[in-house]
Every structure is written in C-alpha cells, then in structure tokens.
Chains A and B, each alone.
Chain A
Amino acid sequence: MTAALDEPRATARRAPLTRLLRSELRMVLRRPRTLIGLALLAMVPVVAGIGIAIATGSSSGESVGDGLASLVEGNGLLLPIFGLTMSMTMLLPLTGAMLAADALAGEAANGTLRGLLMAPVGRARLLAVKAFGVAAVSLFAVLLMAATGIVAGLLLLGGDGMLTSSGTTLSFGAGLGRVLLTVVLVTVQVWALAAVALAVSAWTEHPLIVVVVSLGVVIVSGVLSVIPALDWLTPALITTSWEAIPEVVKDPLPTATLLTGVLRAGCYILIGYSIALSRMLTRDG
C-alpha cells in the first residue's frame, strides 16, 4: 500500500508511515530533555555498581544491604537487573510519563500538533506515530540501562555466572537471558504507565499536568497496595506488577507471577490507548 501506487484522486494520498515514524523518532531523540534523561538513566547502574564495589571493598564480609542489593556483590550480571528494578520505583516511570507528556500535550503547547493535523496526518495515525515514539524511546532507555549495567557489573563486580536469590548459580548465557527478560518486563511496565500518561496527554495542553497525574497514579497505587483493608484492590493496581519484577532472579522462574504482571500491563495499555484514541478523534487542534 505505498502511496505511489494509489490513483492520485481515487483515495487520498498519505505521507508514508515509515517516513512519519522516522521523523518522530529523530525529533524525540534530538530533544535535549530526552538526551539528558537517557544519559542520567545510563549512569544509574554505573553509580550503583561503584557504590556496591566501594562498600564491599572497604568492609569485607559485611553485606551491603538487603534483598537484591546483597546479592549483587561479586555477581556482576545482577547489577543491570538491580539497576532496572531500582529505577522502576521512580526514574523509569518518570521517563515514560515525560515522553508521553511531550508527545501530545507538549506538541499541542508549542503549536506543532496543529501542523501535523493540518498536513494532514490522520488523527488515529498520529496517535499511532506518537505511541511508537514513546514506546521506542522507552525501550531504548531500558536497553541502554541494561547495557551500561552489564558492562559496569562485569568490570566493577566481576563474576562469570549469576547467583540467583534461590541460591543456585546460572551459566553466563542463562544469566544474560535473565537480564534480557528483565528488560522486556520492565519495558512493558513502562509502556503501561506511558499509555496512561498518553491518555492524559491527549486531554491537556500542559505537559506538566501529564507528569504530575502519572506520578500521582504511581504514588496512590503504591499507597493503596500497602493498606491491608484494600487487599482486594491489589490485582488492579499498576504497581503490583512492578513489585514482582525482582522475582526474575529466583531460580525456577516464577513464570505465572511474571506473566500476570505482563497481562496487567497489557490491560493498562489497552485502556490507556482507548481513552487516548477517543480523545484524539474529537480534540480541537
């Protein structure tokens, strides 16, 4: 369905989708905010690795902390996983929200959304292009963190396999597989929050509102999840899946838990994009 094959008048010609996607990606990656954000995210595992290396070097024998962090010493491949799960509490959701905020609300605020609508890029198509930009760049951010995490982990903490939290040791290849699995799990969760943020983004011209509402969702969700009387709500909360991600380092992999998390994220993505689409179709440009 290339544009060139269409009769000039039989159907309206449209700008090629790949051209739009490339243009979107180029624009997002040129935005100074994005670049600074990516650089900071890439630093997170490195800083964590340096911290752990210093802590283990100075007080030999003593554990650096609880949970995942205690496992990381001398266990380099765990560093990217540690970095990613740690960032999932705030930094990565913030990144997803920021990308979504800039995608629609930000473009509306500086008048560029109008230009796209007048070109015209169809409204549903425009949302798809925007969703692609947000998804691709958040995936890139997570991959970047994993990459710097792996390098920093192997250089600073060493180790040729992966010691799981269940006490078993995985081969280097299997350990790398776990890192990639974490990348997928974390990315899907960022996409879920970004979908919610994009729905808000379609309703407003103020990027800040999008970021505030998205972080509000995360914080309220986190608060609700620790109230015992509201246990029945837990399966619906977006943060429930995030808390399960560290289980990726257990030895038999808790597939069911992780899969539930992915499904939950899928529901949020579906709902978020449905709301965003319904708004985009009627939004005044």
Chain B
Amino acid sequence: MSGSTEFGTAAGSPAAVPAARTRGLRKVYRGTVAVDNVDLEVPTGAVLGMLGPNGSGKTTTIRMLLGLVTPTAGEVELLGRKLPEGAAESLPEVGALVEGPGFHPFLSGRENLLRAAAAEPHLSTSRIPAAVGAALERVGLAHAANRRFRGYSLGMKQRLGLAGALLVPRRLVVLDEPTNGLDPAGTREIRTIMADLHAAGTTVVVSSHLLAEVEATCTHVAVLNQGTVVAQGELADLLDAGSATLLVSTPEVEAAVDALRDHRIPARSLAEGIRVDLTATTAPEVVETLVKAGVPVHEVRRQRTGLEDLFARLTEDPVDAAELDPTSDPLVPQETR
C-alpha cells in the first residue's frame, strides 16, 4: 500500500499548512492542569517525536489533536481545518494508535479490522476486504489474522492497532507509544513502517519514551514537561543548540589543558584526553592552539549532545531548580547556574 492519497490534493499547498497545529492549548481535569499553553506545530512531511516524562501531557495533547478530548482553552488545527468543526473532513485522513490498541477480545484480528474498516469514511465497501488484508500483511499479522484478539500477545495487539491506523492511506499518522510491548524485531519493523510512511510523504507524530528510537527515526522533536512544550524544532537544530564539545585524545593531558587555558578556552581533563567546550571557539582554533603549543594530538572528535542529554536538561529537577532560583529557566543547563 503506498502513501499516495487519491483524495489529498485539494487541501491547498501542503508545505504552507502544517499537518497539525495547536495554539494556547489547555486542558484541566477536575482542577488538575494536564496540559497548559501548548503551542505545537507539526510541519507537513515531518516525523515528529513527542518526548516527555510520564504525565507530561503527551497523550492528553495527542487526544486533543485528534478531537477525542475537548480542550478547556486554545485551539487545534488538523490538516488545515479547525477542530471540532473540521473533524469530519480531516479525521478520515488521520490514522492513529492512541493509548494502546482497542479491540474486541472475542473477535479475530481480521474481524476487528473489518469492523474498524466499516467506520472508515474513505473506504468503499467493496475495497474493505482487500484493505484489511493489506494492512494485516503490512504489520506482519497475516498468519494470525483469524485468531481471537483475546489470545494475542502484547506485541501482536500493538501490531493490530498499527494495522488499524494504516487501513487507509493517510496524510497524518499519530502513534502513541507504538513500540510498547514489542520485541527488538518488532521495534525495528515499526521503524521501517515509519520510514516508509515518511518516504511516502505522510506526516508522522510519534510519542515515545525511548530516546534512541526518536533519535533514530524523527526529523523533528517536541519535548513536553509538566504539561507544556519546553522545546520543539528540527532534531538536528535542537541537538546543535546544546553545548557542543570537542574530545581530544592526547597523552599530554596537563600540557593540553594549560595551553588552552592560556588562550582562554575552557577545557577539562579526562582519563585519555581532554574535553573542550566549543561555546566560544571553534574546532580548528582548538587544534591550532594545541599544535602550536607542541601537544601531540592523536584524535579529535566532535561530540554532539545526545538526545538523552538534551532530554535530561529539559526535563530533570524542575522542582529543585525552582527552589534554588525562582526565576531560573528550565532550558538553561544546570551546570551554568
């Protein structure tokens, strides 16, 4: 099944309109603020990873994106149409797997998909059996299609949920923790499916707590913490924005650190070399300084801040930070305070 849409052409220029956008989104459940002031933008064609600790508002935001939950305040635009008015037009082009797969335990995988397909506005009745078969094939469940959902393993249930999201070619696919309960092979398959969707031009929103997953598959990232978006943008930009460092391996650690300090370049000694902070300088400058000082340089490696570091910086210890300094910005790394 290809991602080309036979009905996705008339929605205006796709690059200009983001696949999904929220403004000032807020949701209060019985006095508890679940999500507050969320301005999320999902560019068309992007694979956006939603990151955040448990309870940070990822699922609530996704549920509001899909019109399942009415926001307390703020607005949602899905495929260029405002919700809830535009839901009937935009939702058929959105496939989603939210809060685990929901199916009837007493029906087989195929029967469950047939039932889901019956509700799909963009699927003509004659095409339903073929679409269901193709979706089952795509997620690798064809062999277990006639077994009852009750007897499925967690991973198989997850796959069936994914099949439900892919019944019809979609313009946007939203996956909430898609790798939950999947073995490494299943996780790889999900990654392949996401890559296929991306290649076909489908926008993908995926929430996950597996940072390596997100780093491997996503083009964009939005980090949520305590109900608000604390950072969003292209993955590469966000990673570069973190404090970049240079790892220099040298046997003469002391001399190297001294030489750099003479030039006011901050550096710290490690076991087999030094780590240089690149905030105020560049890599060639560092190398030049070291070579001029006669320090043997064996290897120079630029160390990008991993998503894990970024995530930790954005989401850890907000309580401590607030206690230490009420004006502190959670975006500022802790070491700089």
Residues of A at the B interface (CB closer than 8 Å) are: 3-4, 8-9, 12-16, 19-20, 22-23, 26-27, 30-32, 110-122, 282, 284-285
Contact A120 B88 (CB under 8 A): yes
State how many angstroms separate the Cβ of B172 from the closest Cβ of chain A: 12
Residues of B at the A interface (CB closer than 8 Å) are: 7, 10, 63, 66-70, 87-89, 91-92, 94, 96, 98-107, 111, 114-116, 118-125, 164
Between-chain CB contacts (< 8 Å), 6 pairs: A3-B121, A32-B106, A110-B102, A115-B164, A117-B68, A282-B70
> In whole angstroms, how far apart are the Cα atoms of A123 and B123 in the complex?
19
> In whole angstroms, how far apart are the Cα atoms of A16 and B120 in the complex?
9
Contact B88 A284 (CB under 8 A): no
Chain A, residue nearest B64 (CB) = A284
Contact A20 B119 (CB under 8 A): yes
Point out the residues of chain A lying under 8 angstroms from B102, CB to CB. 110-115
Say which residue of B10, B69, B105, B118 sits within 8 Å of A15 (CB atoms): B118
Chain B, residue nearest A22 (CB) = B118
Contact B69 A119 (CB under 8 A): no
Contact B92 A120 (CB under 8 A): yes
Contact B68 A284 (CB under 8 A): yes
Contact B88 A12 (CB under 8 A): yes
> In whole angstroms, how far apart are the Cα atoms of A19 and B127 in the complex?
13
Say which residue of A23, A119, A284 sits within 8 Å of B91 (CB atoms): A119
Point out the residues of chain A lying under 8 angstroms from B63, CB to CB. 284-285
State how many angstroms separate the Cβ of A32 from the closest Cβ of chain B: 6
Ranked nearest first, the 3 interchain pairs of A and B with the lowest CB-CB distance are A111-B102, A12-B88, A285-B68
Contact B122 A13 (CB under 8 A): yes
Point out the residues of chain B lying under 8 angstroms from A284, CB to CB. 63, 68-70
> In whole angstroms, how far apart are the Cα atoms of A113 and B105 in the complex?
14
> In whole angstroms, how far apart are the Cα atoms of A30 and B91 in the complex?
28
Contact A19 B103 (CB under 8 A): no
> In whole angstroms, how far apart are the Cα atoms of A140 and B104 in the complex?
22
> In whole angstroms, how far apart are the Cα atoms of A3 and B125 in the complex?
11
Contact A9 B10 (CB under 8 A): yes
Contact B88 A27 (CB under 8 A): no
